[in-house]
Amino acid sequence: MSKELAKTYDPKGIEDKLYQKWLDKKYFHAEVDRSKKPFTIVIPPPNITGQLHMGHALDNTMQDILIRFKRMQGYNALWQPGTDHASIATEVKIIEKMKAEGIDKNDLGREGFLERAWEWKKEYGGRIIGQLKKLGSSCDWDRERFTMDEGCNKAVTEVFCKLHEKGWIYKGSRIINWCPVCNTSISDAEVEYEEQDGHFWHIKYPIMDECGQPSETEFLEFATTRPETMLGDTAVAVNPEDARYKHLIGRKVLLPLINREIPIVGDSYVDVEFGTGVVKITPAHDPNDFEVGKRHSLPEINIMNDDATINANGGKFEGLDRYEARKAIVAELDEMGLLGKVEDYSHNVGTHDRCKTTIEPLIKKQWFVKMDELVKPAVEAVKTGEIKLVPERMEKTYFNWTDNIRDWCISRQLWWGHRIPAYYCDKCGETVVAKAAPATCPKCGSQHFTQDPDTLDTWFSSALWPFSTLGWPEKTEDLDYFYPTDVLVTGYDIIFFWVIRMIFSGYEQMGEKPFNTVLFHGLIRDSQGRKMSKSLGNGIDPLEIIEQYGADALRLTLVTGNAPGNDMRFYYERVESSRNFANKVWNASRFIMMNMEGKNESRIADESEALFESLQPVDKWILSKLNRLIKEATDNMENFELGIAVQKVYDFIWDEFCDWYIEMVKPRLYNSDDEASQNAALWTLKTVLINALKLLHPYMPFLTEEIFCSLQTKEESIMISSWPVYKEEWSYTKEEKDIETIKEAVRGIRNIRTQMNVAPSRKAKVYVVSEKEDILTTFEEGRLFFSSLAYASETMLQKDKQGIEDDAVSVMIPNAALYIPFAELVDLGQEIERLEKEEKRLQSELNRVNGMLSNEKFISKAPADKIAEEKEKLEKYTQMRQQVVLRLQQLQK
């Protein structure tokens, strides 16, 4: 027997209880089972410093939808969870905490600091996992991994050593992003660009004359936003095609303040149209200048210390902060007459996303990954479609990055992270890269080594995530069965930093792709379209939404209307609408279960021939609608159109099932003495509800589980029930068409009554007039519910207008007219005015259709089904207009 649902839906009362049930039953857990096809998703690992935000909520909701969907389809579904150690973010947090305690990082030493870090991870690391569970995430928590656990560390060391052996990891001097406050190199992912007000300073460098003296009349003028970097200039560049300057290529200018002669070089990097067409070249402080410097064999002069003060290469400006030096340099250039105009200029400046300090591009000796060869399989995989990007337009961004790829700086001057497995001989300085500290130096035989103090970029370990989490470098059964994974769900903002790195790592280490598909989603913005941020104070805490509305309402809101790769705005009104939908489903389920009380459930469940013979057209109509929904929603989900799929499910449940079908069968449930008809109605109600709940389950897991388990006892959970499939025997085309005809009639009658302000309690006789026998048969078969929905005291079916008063109000539908004798309620002039408006509307539709069908371009290019659809409309509107015109003529007599 079904158990009774509570009168009102209370998410707080069921969500934690159901989630614990799922955990206890191990529904999320996947083991290797060769009899089943695997379906694997690896979670983009959230930082252990993390607090669940709307981006996490969207990302993990989408993954959960896919994994629940595939689990119900019978796949051996694994959602591999884990967290990221997030080197710099975590270290910053720990240092802040220690600072509050009056403890300096360096006082503790490396080992002492790492003890504190692991304690911090133990205390705070699982917080975001608990928050993901509140969202309903069905990850296999028994398999939870951490990017610095023993297995992942082993994988990182293995990859570093292998790539170094191939010559693809090297130590060298290149431009990197440097944070002067955190004193470490940082990745491009950690650089946040913000609009800052600044200036363009126009500076003049004297051209050296033939006698080797700086000219007092000839100068090369350029503009810069960072005058202090001129201390490290080693050339000025012009475009070799620029007629203004090409005669100067090969000559020299004098670098003021430093009094160093530097060459004028010709390079196509210089944009002739921008500014003066002259660019200062500072190879040690600008990535583009670095490349120009390599092409022209220019020296690289670093003029900054790690704390962004000027070093000895800056001459008399040594010791000044970069901004103090800027002021002093500008003032001195002005005194020398070498400063031109100063323009206000607003531009994007890179800042460190953690401490908000403006980053400094510096040339430093670091560890790099050589990218030119490594990236080739990643390019080819997307070009050939072996890996599919959804939406496809993301390929442009992907290839733009791979086409302009630079070697990847992987070393960080941090203590928290995977330490670089490089050892330096204390005696001769020989570098040995190995999985463990070497016993003796291969060069001098010394036994004393010092390990490289740096750690690896966080992205280095997360690049291995799809296979390191499954046991690599060991050849595990899990790895053989669950790899490659199926789909990666992530935001488009980390397409380069993570996605591409996983792809080339998969091909390099595993010899095959890490996943089949990458599904990109957009950002969640506030109601004004702004990016959510702490500085704007417009962030929304998903946990607060869950507390107020429930996890299901939040999940539905995040996915409804969401298209792959598109940003979306967050409105509280939409969450309320989702909560209202949950209430609608709950109340409809309670109604069905209440009507099943006291009934012989075995008869309702008995899908015998007798039951199917008792199905009425309206039952077949809803089954047919459900059947089409199953096919369409499944196709949408297979194509990652999650927002489209759930909108169809939502519309079906709310409109077709609740607002129409349930209302249509109420008279049979309340008034009919025909037990067979009642059983058929109850069977249909229950069958449609169960299937609709299954389609809704991936989106709203808690609501659907509670109703499903209360409704029937055959299966212990909707989570492990089977996904609905299309059935040819449930395709009732005729019944669909017939019931849609009745619905159109009901809508027409209700619209008229609303326009005339007639109360629903006021019943009136309704005449259905049609020369077509099949139309009259349709209304005869649906007489009981039609009368109820149309507020009819009596429904009369006839082939002509005999016996119908001339002043009766009319409704026109294809091949039929409905009349209601409302003479005492209706102003005759008002009805004529309404019909005149309807005649104009239909004429407008006819003009549009005729215009399309007479358009040669439309006829030649439109699909055949679209042309057929328009021809069908022409016939429909012509017939309806004729009826309206005839009715008008009758009333106007």
Comparing C-alpha atoms, which of 672, 683, 671 is closest to residue 620?
683
**Cβ pair 74, 36 in contact under 8 A:** yes
**Cβ pair 466, 497 in contact under 8 A:** no
CA distance linking residue 516 with residue 488, whole number of Å: 8
CA distance linking residue 451 with residue 194, whole number of Å: 38
**Cβ pair 409, 457 in contact under 8 A:** yes
Known binder of ligand: residue 873? no
CA distance linking residue 620 with residue 58, whole number of Å: 37
**Cβ pair 466, 483 in contact under 8 A:** yes
Going by C-beta distance under 8 Å and a sequence separation of 6 or more, which residues neighbour residue 221?
202, 203, 204, 205, 276, 278, 340
CA distance linking residue 772 with residue 798, whole number of Å: 10
* DSSP E strand boundaries for 256-338: 260-266, 278-281
What is the greatest pairwise CA distance in the chain? 118
**Cβ pair 381, 510 in contact under 8 A:** no
- Cα–Cα–Cα angle for 315, 321, 327, rounded to 5 degrees: 80
- Cα–Cα–Cα angle for 760, 761, 766, rounded to 5 degrees: 70
CA distance linking residue 530 with residue 407, whole number of Å: 34
Going by C-beta distance under 8 Å and a sequence separation of 6 or more, which residues neighbour residue 22?
28, 138, 717, 719
**Cβ pair 718, 697 in contact under 8 A:** yes
**Cβ pair 553, 703 in contact under 8 A:** no
Which amino acid is residue 213, in one-letter code?
Q
- SS3 call for 89: helix
Report the binding-site residues for ATP. Answer: 534
Report the binding-site residues. Answer: 534
